[in-house]
């Protein structure tokens, strides 16, 4: 089988397509034929070495496909079942073996592409809006990278909860996508100072929660956008990690909260994984959540997909497809 491998940390050029043996599932494992794999910023962090992982490895932590074989003691899945997963390494490949308890069924009415696109980013938007800070009708939220994969889903979930949404993005085209997803206001940070605009839009009160996946470039100003006792939710490092911050400043700025969450702490067990992914899939089927899947790359062009993502040339979800799917 073909797989996209990382043998040393570095830029997109370190990605290589190699031929590997098809793995055999062990106890409580399932072999899945991949139909679509999701591309996420965490993949670029792992490739670059920002997040240290053992090498060599096959990248990709999100995908969807069909069960082709089940190991001993597997009880809930059988060949032919359609499944999706996140937090399982190796999705950039023709096949992956995964623990039975990390796979969730894809319901009728949801495609393989939707299954792959919804798992990591959909469950991320779910925990951000439902658990890290549970949005409601009285809330105002700031969402950076509003036209990105998580951003577009988070806007929709925030609006479904009744919140007022201010999004930020870099271009008019991306602003149109954020507005179409439901954002009440969109700030072009390439032309406007988002902190000034947030204060203007909220009449000086600020937002109750800021969702920041950008990191270093926006962190301090995002905090300054918060109302008293507001929540700063830093969940990504697209512009680089935040390495210096004085927690005492949170008091001076209004007794603020700061959290650095990660999806994997919000799907600690199978029950939580099934509940979050189940909500996401149901909202897709009901039309309450729309996925934007505009960018598709074959596995052989994994390098180009990383270059496009890191170059901010993508919107919505980016998917990698094995040859022939």
The pLDDT tens digits for 295-316 are 999 999 999 999 999 988 888 7
Residue 324 confidence (pLDDT) above 80 = no
pLDDT tens digits for range 77-87: 999 999 999 99
CA distance 38 to 243: 28
Tokens 């935040």 found at: 242
Mean pLDDT of the chain: 95
Domains belonging to the chain, first-starting first, are 2-121+269-321 (3.90.180.10), 136-260 (3.40.50.720)
Alpha-carbon torsion (280, 282, 287, 291), positive or negative: positive
pLDDT of 93: 98
Instruction: Supply the pLDDT for residue 123.
Output: 95
Going 146 to 151 to 153 to 155, the CA torsion angle's sign is negative
Quote the percentage of the chain above a pLDDT of 90: 89
How many angstroms separate the first and last alpha carbons of the chain? 14
CB atoms within 10 A of CB 171: 14
Segment (H or E) for 82: strand 82-86
Which residue in 73, 118, 121 sits closest to 99, CA to CA? 73
Write down the pLDDT at residue 115.
96
- The pLDDT value given to residue 232: 98
Q: What was the pLDDT predicted at 102?
A: 94
Residues 2-33 pLDDT 10s: 999 999 999 999 999 999 999 999 999 999 99
State the pLDDT at residue 233: 98
Q: Which pLDDT belongs to residue 294? A: 82
Identify whether the C-beta of residue 323 lies closer than 8 Å to the C-beta of residue 299. yes
Provide mean pLDDT across the span 198-214: 97
For position 88, what pLDDT does the model report? 94
- Measure the CA angle with vertex 258, ends 136 and 129; round to 5°: 30
Other Cβ atoms less than 10 A from the Cβ of 247: the count is 8
């Amino acid at each position: 089988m073909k797989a996209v491998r990382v043998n040393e940390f570095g830029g997109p050029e370190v990605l290589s397509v190699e031929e590997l043996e098809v793995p055999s599932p062990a106890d409580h494992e399932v072999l899945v034929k991949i139909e679509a794999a999701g591309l996420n910023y965490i993949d670029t962090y792992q490739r670059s070495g920002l997040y240290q992982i053992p090498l060599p490895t096959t990248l990709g932590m999100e995908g969807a496909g069909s069960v082709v074989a089940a190991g001993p003691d597997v009880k809930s899945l059988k060949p032919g079942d359609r499944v999706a997963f996140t937090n399982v390494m190796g999705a950039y490949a023709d096949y992956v073996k995964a623990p039975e308890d990390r796979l969730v069924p894809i319901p009728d009415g949801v495609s393989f592409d939707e299954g792959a696109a919804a798992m990591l980013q959909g469950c991320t938007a779910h925990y951000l809006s439902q658990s890290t800070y549970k949005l409601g009708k009285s809330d105002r939220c700031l969402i950076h990278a509003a036209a990105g994969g998580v951003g577009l889903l988070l806007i929709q979930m925030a609006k479904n909860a009744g919140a007022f949404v201010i999004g930020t993005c870099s271009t008019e085209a991306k602003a149109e996508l954020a507005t179409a997803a439901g954002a009440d206001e969109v700030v072009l940070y390439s032309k406007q100072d988002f902190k000034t605009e947030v204060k203007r839009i909220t009449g000086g009160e600020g937002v109750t929660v800021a969702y920041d996946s950008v990191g270093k470039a926006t962190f301090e100003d995002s905090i300054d956008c918060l109302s008293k006792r507001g929540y700063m939710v830093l969940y990504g490092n697209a512009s680089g990690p935040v390495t210096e911050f004085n927690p005492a400043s949170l008091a001076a700025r209004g007794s603020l909260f700061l959290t650095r969450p990660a999806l994997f702490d919000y799907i600690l067990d199978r029950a939580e994984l099934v509940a979050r992914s189940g909500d996401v899939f149901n909202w897709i089927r009901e039309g309450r959540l729309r996925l934007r899947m505009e960018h598709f790359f074959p596995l052989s062009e994994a390098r180009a997909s990383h270059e496009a993502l890191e170059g901010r040339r993508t919107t919505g979800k980016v998917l990698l497809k094995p040859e022939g799917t």
